[in-house]
Structure 1
Amino acid sequence: MLGTATEQLRAQIDELTARLRDIDEEIENLAVARKTLLALPPIAPNPTDPPPVLPDHPANQQILSVFTDAVGPMRARDLCERLDLAVTPKNIESTRHKLKRLVSLGVLAEPEPGLFTERRP
């Protein structure tokens, strides 16, 4: 009876070990795929597409002027500092929301989550 239970447990351990190995391989494959996708150049906008319509709001102009002078990508927190806004969760989230909106309009790009930059033609 003890021998049978031991054999069953060993069989379960072998099965779980094989499943764990498969999952580890899948995680490794996903990491490689993510790295590959992040290394791809951004898709250039179609030259026949009309230019994005920027919502008429002074905050958008302020944001774009900061990006015009920026050396590299920025986070919402960095933008708050450059705009002399208090670095509070409310301001950071509000700024992030505006940045995401500008990304969805095709005005800015988000090469990595939370990292924003000017869209290059």
Structure 2
Amino acid sequence: MHLEHLAITRKTVTGLADRLPAVAPELPEHPDYPRILAAFNHATGPLRAKDVCAALGHELLPKNVEGTRAKLKRLVKLGILTEADTGNFARRQ
């Protein structure tokens, strides 16, 4: 009987754990990351690295665009952004 109760408790706890909201991952320590997320909060659709670079006020030089693209890819790996099409980034819903 005791084992049956443990099995029921385990089933209940694991069922409730699936309902808990996921903990948001911490952003890497760089001042651009909060600004990147702010740009996505104001956007109505997906953004490209060049768009984000412009929103951050960086010159549209290849090194700046590629640096921004690397930051966007890191946010995709952290599960904060998605890359629907190649080069088009959006906030994860």
TM-score range, shorter chain: 0.7 to 0.9
- Tell me, in whole angstroms, the C-alpha distance in 2 between the residues paired with 1:55 and 1:47: 27
Q: How does 1:106-117 map to 2 (within 5 A)?
A: 106-117=79-90
- Tell me, in whole angstroms, the C-alpha distance in 2 between the residues paired with 1:104 and 1:77: 19
RMSD: 1.5
- Tell me, in whole angstroms, the C-alpha distance in 1 between the residues paired with 2:72 and 2:92: 12
Aligned residue pairs total 75
| 1:61 and 2:61 are equivalent in the alignment | no
| TM-score (structure 1 length as normaliser) | 0.57
Computing the radius of gyration from Cα coordinates, the structure with the larger value is 1
Once the two structures are TM-superposed, the CA of residue 83 in structure 1 deviates from its matched residue by: 1.4
- Tell me, in whole angstroms, the C-alpha distance in 1 between the residues paired with 2:36 and 2:23: 22
In structure 1, list runs of 5 or more residues that go unmatched: 1-45
> Percent same amino acid among aligned pairs?
47
| TM-score (structure 2 length as normaliser) | 0.73
SS in 2 for 1:116: strand
Query: Closer, same or farther in 2 for the Cα pair 1:68/1:75, shift >3 Å?
Result: same
